[in-house]
Structures are given as structure tokens and as C-alpha cells.
Structure 1
Amino acid sequence: MDLSQRVRAILSFVQAADSGSFAAAARVLGISSAAVSKNVASLELALGVRLMNRTTRTLNLTDEGAAFLKQARIALDALDTAVDAVAAQRVETSGHVRISTSAAFGRDQLMPALPGLLTRYPALSVEVDFDDRVIDLVHDGYDLAIRGGHIADSALIARPICRLNMVLVASPEYLERKGTPHTPQQLDQHTLITRRFLGGKVSPWCFRAADGSITTQDPDHAMLTLSAPEALVQAACFGMGIAQVGVHHAWKHLSSGALKVLLLGQHDPGSYEMVLQYPHRALIAPRVRATIDYLLAAFANDEALHVPLEALAAHAG
């Protein structure tokens, strides 16, 4: 007898014992009286003992049947408890959520959102890995990941967070000392700060000509090469040179006047994006669904992630 047959047989036996007849049990279970009788007989055959003595009018439990009924009720109660626990989780939104994010976005955007998430869902616990490497979301056991760049097509669901516009910046002190470049060609006379990704590739700088064509300039004479985007912003604020950074990283420093935008309208902002990824669209655990919905709403209200390019003109050097 396989597991599904065993469960059906046990349910038939318990209902027959409670109802006092196969016919009454059949009405409750929505099956025929003959099916109830067959289920109980198959259970007895599997157990090797008689559970009920039946006549045309009555059912009487044997000693073995009474003992089995007691254990069967415990098992069925355990199943009910398991179902109730899952239902309660749907209401309470409890459980553990594992998130993978880049170090910079995790610190500046995710961390400020977590207090509100955990206040709204106090039964939730969150584990965050700050890691810029490419991960296998499913194999590594994450519920969701936040990633930026050129997002490749995959089996993962990707929910957009924002565009990641790039911008060239430098401090007022650097521009006063070195002068302000007005064309991409003049960058050859400046100190450049560039980013090298973990895979070894240096981030190119792209420029848009009047006819709409785009040219790429590799900052191969950079004085300083860094792997962390927030370090590029910091170096630019220190007056060390010109850096290409994400607007969301630089926005607070642009707003305060600590950095200025360069070559606006000539520098190409790129086609990068930030997304929230997760493995499945259907039957997402309530703890994961609640986390996704809350974080997307929080990121939508993060001013630094949605700065329009035209707003940068007020901060041009």
C-alpha cells in the first residue's frame, strides 16, 4: 500500500469509527460506501489484524482497532497542526529570508530599508550577504538577490529597481587646481580614477557625439584604479581626480557641493540597471513575497535612485 492509499484508508477507518457505519462515513468523505469498506479492508490487510467487527447494522472496534484509532487521531492532529502552522505563517509573515546584494547598494540602500521591514514584520528574520561576485541564486540558497549592470536573460524573475546612470565627477578643489575639461579629448590632460571589476575588466567611459554616435574611451592612463564604486566617489571627494560613478552613489555629494558633474550631455550615462531577482513567480513563500514588495516600495521612494538626468545640470562644473 503506497502512502496516498494508506492516508485514504486511515481517513476511512477513523470516519467510520466516528460515524458508526460505512454509509455515514461515505457521506462525510464524499465517496461510496463500498469504497469506505474497501479502504478499511485494505488497511486491515496491510496491518495484518482486524480493526473492526462489522454486521449489517453495527461496527465494533476490536482491541487492536481501538489502539490504532488512538494513534491515528494523533497522526491526523499532527497533520492539522502542520497545515495550521503554514496558514499562520501566511498571516504573520514569519520565517527567515536570505538576501545577496552588492556591498555598496547593500550599505546605502538596503540597510536603511531593513528597520522598516522588520518593524512591519517582527516575526521575520533577515540574513544579508554583501558580495559583489556573481552568485548562483538557487544553488547558493538565497531567496532573492539585488544586482546591477547589464542584466542577462535567465530563468530568474527580475523586478526593476532603477536605471543606473553613470556620471563623471570631480571635486571643486580638483577643478580649481587642474581646470575643467570641456571635451572628452581634454581628459588626456587630467588625473583619472577608474574602476576595475572583480573579473579584471576596466569600466570604459563612453561619449555621445552630436550625430548620436557613441565612442568608447578606455582610461588606460588612470592614476588610481579601484574595485569598489563607493571608493571612487570617496577618492573624487578627496580631490584625487575625475571619476566615473553611478549617480546614486554621488548624489548626496553633488547635493552638498562636494562634487561637480563634468561633460554633461557629452558623457553617455550607459544602459545599466538595478534589479531584484528571485527564482519563482508562482507559489512564492509569504515571507519572501512580503520582503520583495516592501523593498521595491522602499527603493521606489529613495530619491538617490531616481535622479533625472536633467536635474544634474544644476550641479555641473
Structure 2
Amino acid sequence: MDSAQRIRAILSFVRAADGGSFAAAARSLGISSAAVSKNVAGLERALGVRLMNRTTRTLTLTAEGAAFLHQARVALTALDAAVDSVAAGRVEPGGKVRISTSAGFGRDQLMPALPGLLARHPGLSFDVDFDDRRVDLVQEGYDLALRGGTITDSALVSRPVCRLNMALVAAPAYLAHEGVPRTPAELGRHRLLARRFLGGRVSPWAFHTAGGGTDAFEPEGAVLTVSAPEALVQAALAGIGIAQVGVHHVWEHLRAGTLQVVLADCHHPGTYEMTLQYPHRALLAPRVRATIDYLLDVFAADETLHVPIAALRPFAV
């Protein structure tokens, strides 16, 4: 008798003992009385002892049957406890979650979210890499990644976090000294701050055209080119020049008056977005599911990630 047959036979025996008949056991298990009788008989053969004395009307336990019933209940209780333990793991997730994120988004959005996530699920722990490169989640063993940019189709599941609207900004002191550009053509006489992606390409700026299209503008001859968007914000705040940055990076500086928006009427905010990505799995681990659900809720409530372009107008010059 294999393990599966043994469990079925023990269940049939216990239910028959509890119900007082094979018919009662059959009703509780959803099988036929004949199947219950066969299961009990098979168990007796495997054990080499009679467990029950049967008549047409009653079942009575033998001494060996009474002793076995006690041990069977202990075994079934242990089995139920094991099932309950796994089920509890689904209710209260635990374990390590590996996350890949950019330095800026990780510092400003992910890290502030982790205390609340740990308070809700104290069994979780996190291993976070702050890396702007595009990682291979499957090959490198990450559970999820927070990625910004132009997201291409892939085998990964992508959950949108927000649009990454861009804006041109400069410090009031810089604009007071150098003047405010009124058209894209006037940018040629200004000090420009550019961002270089890890692949070496410089991020272009885009402007609306009268015909409804867009023109790309390459910030050639930039006075400063950096790879981190946070460094662009620092340079703009220092009055070095005009930078194109994500609105979420500068929203608080705009509200504080330490940066202003230029060319708001014609600058194109871009098509960048932030997504939360993870490998497709039919049964996502509870620790990963809990993390994803919590982070998406927190990011949805973060107003700095969802500033509409129209909200920039009061800060434009």
C-alpha cells in the first residue's frame, strides 16, 4: 500500500469509527460505502490485524483498532497542522525579496515605502540593488525590478507605476542673469545640462511643432553632461544652466521656488514611464505578491509621481 492509498484508508477507518458505519463514513468523504469497506479491509491487510468487527448493523473496534484509532488521530492532526502552516504562510508572507531599482527612484520612492511594508509584513526582508543598468531578472535572481524609461515588450510582467513626465528647469538666479528663452532656437545661447544614458546616448529634448508633431533637439555643446538625473537637479539648483529632468525629481523644488520651468508651452514631456516588472509565474510567491501589491498602492498615492503637466504652469516663466 503506497502513501496515498494509506492516507485514504486511514481516513476511511477514522470516519467509519466516528460515524459508526461505513455508510456514514462514505457520506462524509463523498465516496461509496463499498469504497470505504475496501479501504478499511486494505488497511487491515497491510497491518496484519483486524481493526473492526462488523455486523450488518454495527461496527465495533477491536483492541488493536482502538489503539490504532488513537495513533491515527495524532497523525491526521499533524497533517492538518502542516497544511495550516503552509496556509498561514500564504496569509502572512515571509522571506527575502530581491529588488533592482535605480538610485534616484530607490532613494526617493522605494526606501520611504519599506518601513510601512515591514510593519505590515514583519516576516519579510529585502535585498535591494541600486543600479541604473538593465538587469536580467531571471538570470540574476531578482524577484522584481523598478524600471524607468521607454519600456519595451518582454517576457516580463509589467505593472505601470506612473508616467515620467519631463520638464525644462533652471534656477531663478540663472534666468535672471542669462535671460529666459522664449523659443527652442534661443537655447543655443544658453548653458545646457544634458543626461547621458549608460549606453552612451545623450537624452534628446523634444518640442511640439505648429503642425502637431514633434522636433528632437540634441543638447549639443552642453556645459555639463552627467549620467544620473539627480546630478542634473543639483546642477540646475546651483545655477549652472538649463536641464531636462523628470517632474518627480523637481516637484518640491518648483513648489519651493528654487527652480522654475522654461518653454512650458512648447516642450514635449516625453513618453517615458516607470514600471514594476517581475517574471511571469502562474503562482507568484506570497512574499513577492505582498511586496508588489503594497508598493503599487504606495506609489499610486505619491503625488510627486503623478503631477499633471498642467500643474507646472504656475511655475513657468
TM-score normalized by structure 2? 0.82
Does the CA contact (< 8 Å) of 1:17 and 1:61 recur in 2?
no
**Is residue 270 of structure 1 aligned with residue 270 of structure 2?**
yes
Corresponding residue number in structure 1 for 2:149: 149
Corresponding residue number in structure 1 for 2:215: 215
Write out aligned runs for 1:218-237 (5 A).
218-237=218-237
Once the two structures are TM-superposed, the CA of residue 246 in structure 1 deviates from its matched residue by 0.3
Does the CA contact (< 8 Å) of 1:167 and 1:269 recur in 2?
yes
Return the letter of the residue paired with 1:37.
S
- 51-60 or 182-191, which moves further after superposition? 51-60
- Secondary structure at the residue paired with 1:275? strand
Corresponding residue number in structure 2 for 1:37: 37
Corresponding residue number in structure 2 for 1:181: 181
CA RMSD of aligned residues (A): 3.1
- Tell me the distance in 2 between the aligned counterparts of 1:264 and 1:257: 16
Corresponding residue number in structure 1 for 2:94: 95
Does the CA contact (< 8 Å) of 2:93 and 2:290 recur in 1?
no
Does the CA contact (< 8 Å) of 1:50 and 1:62 recur in 2?
no
Corresponding residue number in structure 2 for 1:50: 48
Once the two structures are TM-superposed, the CA of residue 114 in structure 1 deviates from its matched residue by 2.8
Write out aligned runs for 1:252-267 (5 A).
252-267=252-267
Corresponding residue number in structure 2 for 1:81: 81
Q: Deviations over 1:157-181 (max 9, x none)?
A: 4332221101112222333343333
- Tell me the distance in 1 between the aligned counterparts of 2:273 and 2:231: 20
Check 1:28–1:311 CA distance in 2 against 1; reply closer, same or farther (3 A cut): closer
- 296-305 or 276-285, which moves further after superposition? 276-285
Return the letter of the residue paired with 1:308.
P
- Tell me the distance in 1 between the aligned counterparts of 2:146 and 2:279: 12
Does the CA contact (< 8 Å) of 1:254 and 1:260 recur in 2?
yes
Return the letter of the residue paired with 1:217.
F
**Is residue 134 of structure 1 aligned with residue 134 of structure 2?**
yes
Q: Deviations over 1:33-63 (max 9, x none)?
A: 2212323444566x5x424355432454575
Check 1:35–1:270 CA distance in 2 against 1; reply closer, same or farther (3 A cut): same
- Secondary structure at the residue paired with 1:211? coil
Does the CA contact (< 8 Å) of 2:101 and 2:146 recur in 1?
yes
- 245-254 or 182-191, which moves further after superposition? 182-191
TM-score normalized by structure 1? 0.82
- Secondary structure at the residue paired with 2:54? coil
Gaps of 5+ in 1: none
Once the two structures are TM-superposed, the CA of residue 245 in structure 1 deviates from its matched residue by 0.7
Give the total of aligned pairs. Answer: 312
- Tell me the distance in 2 between the aligned counterparts of 1:141 and 1:9: 43
Does the CA contact (< 8 Å) of 2:164 and 2:246 recur in 1?
yes
Give the share of equivalent positions with the same residue, in percent.
64
